[in-house]
Structure 1
Amino acid sequence: MGALRGALSFTRFFVRGELPDGFRDRFMKNIKLRKFEPLTAEDEESERSGWCVIDRVFDLEFDHEKVFYNSYLNLGLRVDRWRVPPALLKAQLQEAEEELKAKKGLNKLGRAQKADLKQRITIRLRKRTLPTMRAYDLSWNLDTGVLLFWSNSRRLHDELAALFEKTFGLNIVPESPFMAAVECGLTDEQLYVLRGVEETIFFTQNAKRIGE
């Protein structure tokens, strides 16, 4: 969602590190290794993320033309989640526990028995639905090192940073006034002074203070 549809809500990152020789082929190989793998009802995890082709959430077959456009590398971060209604899971689990106790003549079930029942019921409920699916666009200018990610979610930023480092061997740093100054080429002395600047909050004289 975002890049190819003109959405304006994105977060800017700076990519730290040097591009290796032959990076396009190397990156393509690593992208394929970390492409999205669809969830199954039997999976222990309830959420999974990985790369997909930008603006094509179901396209997991990568080639250079789909990923590289001039000096840009474009991808989608696909995130799928199983969402089983907690109330439904609880109700069916209670029913299954009562049936098992009656069948085996037990007054109480052990922890392992409860865990096994919960897993089986969760799988059964998952098979009745589909996981939720979202894809978030990413566009990386390989010349400038600026990366745009079409999400403002802090949790997704962390997920992106981890997958990005595993895939490309590089770190991303979110845009901030200090990082913008670094990218502008300030001297070490100027950056030292900037580090000591305290944040200033501006408000009009007519603005009411909290509690007034």
Structure 2
Amino acid sequence: MGFLSASASFTRYRIIEEIPDTLWPEIADRLRRNAFKDIDHTADERSFGWVAFDDMLDADWRSAPPQKGEFITMGLRLDTRRIPPAVFKKHLALALADEMERMEQTKGKAYVSRDRKNELKEQTKLRLMARTLPIPAQFDVVWNVTSGVVYLASIQSKLRALFEDMFTMTFDLHLEPMTPYYQALARMGEERASVLDDLEPTVFV
């Protein structure tokens, strides 16, 4: 769910480095250089990149600029092709049956080597990938340039890792999740880190 939904789960980050003033005029160009590329007409398994916050089909920011007041907004779009296991199993079985029939007719034995089986698996996967439409998903990102806090509308660990890598690659800045530990340390001070490290959970049941 995105930030424009009635409810949303999100992860907060802070930017570790000091942000150079030269970055701000380059925001739009940096996003376009790392924009999402469509894979509808390919057999690629996955594609990801930036799109406009307001329109997941807009990878050129024609509908609206990323800057909105004191915020920079964008969407991380991730398209993934998934072949249902039962479909793959069926088509692989058909390919193996055809191969065994061909082997029997040409060499007099119905035997398929391990290497050939692996080759048929790859061919079957590519063939089905080309016939399968990718499933699109967009994850909203809001960057408060005043506070330096970045919000990602997801708590999935794999998606968070992908986002962190994309953010660093795009803006040359590193993110740190604002976990409860970080929040407590920011208020207590680094000199009291040992107090937090020595805390033990309380069992109420």
| 1:180-191 correspondence to structure 2 within 5 Å | 180-181=183-184, 183-184=186-187, 187-189=189-191, 191=192
| 1:1-212 correspondence to structure 2 within 5 Å | 1-39=1-39, 40-43=41-44, 46-62=45-61, 65-104=64-103, 105=106, 106-181=109-184, 183-184=186-187, 187-189=189-191, 191-192=192-193, 194-201=195-202, 203=204, 207=205
Alpha carbons of 1:195 and 1:97: their partners in 2 closer, same or farther (altered >3 Å)? Answer: same
Q: CA deviation at 1:194?
A: 4.5
TM-score by length of 2: 0.84
Q: CA deviation at 1:138?
A: 0.6
SS in 2 for 1:42: coil
Root-mean-square deviation (Å): 2.4
The sequence identity of aligned pairs, in percent, is: 27
Are the aligned partners of 2:76 and 2:139 in contact in 1 as well (CA < 8 Å)?
A: yes
Alpha carbons of 1:52 and 1:58: their partners in 2 closer, same or farther (altered >3 Å)? Answer: same
SS in 2 for 1:4: coil
Q: Deviations over 1:37-88 (max 9, x none)?
A: 1224432xx2222111114111111269421111211111111111101121
Counterpart CA distance in 1 for 2:21 and 2:136 is 35
> How many residues end up aligned between the 2 structures?
200
Are the aligned partners of 2:52 and 2:64 in contact in 1 as well (CA < 8 Å)?
A: no
Counterpart CA distance in 2 for 1:90 and 1:202 is 47
Q: CA deviation at 1:110?
A: 3.6
Q: Which amino acid aligns with 1:159?
A: L
Listed as ranges, the gaps of 5+ residues in structure 2 are none
Q: CA deviation at 1:193?
A: 5.0
Q: After the TM superposition, which of the residue ranges 54-63 and 142-151 deviates more from structure 2?
A: 54-63
Q: Which amino acid aligns with 2:76?
A: L
Counterpart CA distance in 2 for 1:70 and 1:103 is 67
Alpha carbons of 1:18 and 1:63: their partners in 2 closer, same or farther (altered >3 Å)? Answer: farther
Listed as ranges, the gaps of 5+ residues in structure 1 are 208-212
Are the aligned partners of 1:34 and 1:50 in contact in 2 as well (CA < 8 Å)?
A: yes
Counterpart CA distance in 2 for 1:66 and 1:199 is 47
Are the aligned partners of 1:28 and 1:64 in contact in 2 as well (CA < 8 Å)?
A: no
